[in-house]
Every structure is written in structure tokens, then in C-alpha cells.
Amino acid sequence: MWSRRACWVRRDARNKGLNDVGRLWRILATAIAISFGLVTLAGLLIGDGLFNQVAGLFLQLAAVTIGLTILIGLLNLYTVHLNRLLQRGRGSLYSLVMLASAALVIGLWLTNQDESNMILLESVQVALESALAGLVLFALVYGAYRFMRGGVTLSGLLFTAVLLIVLLGTLPGDHVIAQVRNWVLAVPVSAGQRGILLGIALATVVTGVRVLAGQDRNYRE
């Protein structure tokens, strides 16, 4: 019994030691991230001098690191679709097509057949996506219909009125509705756009400051 208890004590001590090491690594990583962030911010704010050069170097390093995430992405793509194919789940045919396409593109790249790769890109993917872009219009029209079908609300009425004004205002000629459309787009729509963008900008700043202050969850856990 005593030997079992001693074993527990040793295991607890070992876990505690591992936790302490983990905590130290987290603190070190947080300190590095905050230091890099502050130096980059100072470099961008000051505009020239040593700080700016160092900030530029950090940004280049970040770009290289971001480039490496493509490899993680490819690994993820293959893992997810191979898994689905092996499990023969729903949509496994799509996964098979995806894996075959990816293998073909990588094979063409490895054999330096960039022209064939470009043909695949321009003739297949861009063409398919262009066709899909046509479908977006129908989805939008259906969405507008659903929005108006949901019941009469103030926002619904406003949406419908603005939609009609904008659509009728695009008819040829310098009529009253065209002038109203121009005013709607220049004043209330523009004001709304700026309001939304200002809100997003302020929230971006505050979230960034929280990261620089080391309060983000990624630092703590």
C-alpha cells in the first residue's frame, strides 16, 4: 500500500513538474509574441529609423511563416478527404474527385508542366466558378423573397422600399426615382457603410490591444 502511495506522490510530483515547465514555456511564448507585436507596432507608428527596419524584418518573417501554413493546409486536405474515402461516408465520391484532382495538379507541378496546370486552372476551375457566380444572383433573389415573406416588419418594409427604388432608379432616363436612388446611395447608404466599417475598425483595434496586453486566450491556456 505504501509503495502504491509513494508511486502516486512521485507521479503527482512529475505532473507538477511538467505543468511548471509548460507554464514557463507559455510565459516565454507570450513574452516573445508581445515583444514582437510591440516592436512592430512602434515601427509602423514611428514610420522610419531602426524600429521601422526591424518591423519590416518581422513582417517578412511573418510572411514566410504564413507561406508554410500552405503545407499544413495540404496535409489537412489530404487527411480529411482520405479519411472520408476510407470510411465510405456520404460525399466520398467528391473526396475521390478532389484527391485525384489535387494529385494531378501536384504531379503536373513536379514534372514542370506549368502550362498544363494553367490550362486546368483557367479552363476548369475559373469556368466552374464563373458558372457558380451566375447562381449567386438566383440565391440573392430567393433570399430577398424569403426576407419579404417572413412577415411585415419595419425593417422588411424599408428593405423592400429601398430595393424597389434602387432597381427602378437604374432604368434609363433622368427621372425622379433615379434622383432619389442617387440620393439614397450617396447619403443614407454611404452613412450606414461608414458606420459599419468604423465599428469594425474600432473593434479590430480593441481586439489587437487585448492581444498585445497578453490577455488573449491563446496566451493563457
**Contact positions vs another protein (CB under 8 A):** 41, 44-45, 47, 62-63, 65-66, 69-70, 72-73, 76-77, 79-80, 83-84, 89-91, 94, 125-126, 128-130, 132-133, 135-136, 139-140, 142-144, 146-147, 159, 193, 195-200, 202-213, 215-218, 221
**Shortest distance (Å) from residue 80 CB to another protein:** 5
* Minimum distance of another protein from residue 34's CB (angstroms): 12
Q: Which is nearer to another protein, 5 or 90 (CB)?
A: 90
Residue with Cβ nearer another protein (107 or 143): 143
Task: Please say whether the beta carbons of 43 and 54 come within 8 A.
Answer: yes
- Could you tell me if 181 and 166 are in contact, meaning their C-beta atoms sit under 8 angstroms apart? yes
Give residue 93's identity as a one-letter amino acid code. Answer: L
Q: How far apart are CA 99 and CA 103, in angstroms?
A: 6
Q: Minimum distance from CB of 70 to another protein (Å)?
A: 5
| Minimum CB distance to another protein smaller for 77 or for 96 | 77
Residue 159's nearest CA partner among 183, 184, 136, 139 is 184
DSSP annotation string for 41-53: HHHHHH-SSHHHH
C-beta of 27 vs 203, nearer to another protein: 203
For another protein, the closer of residues 100 and 202 by Cβ is 202
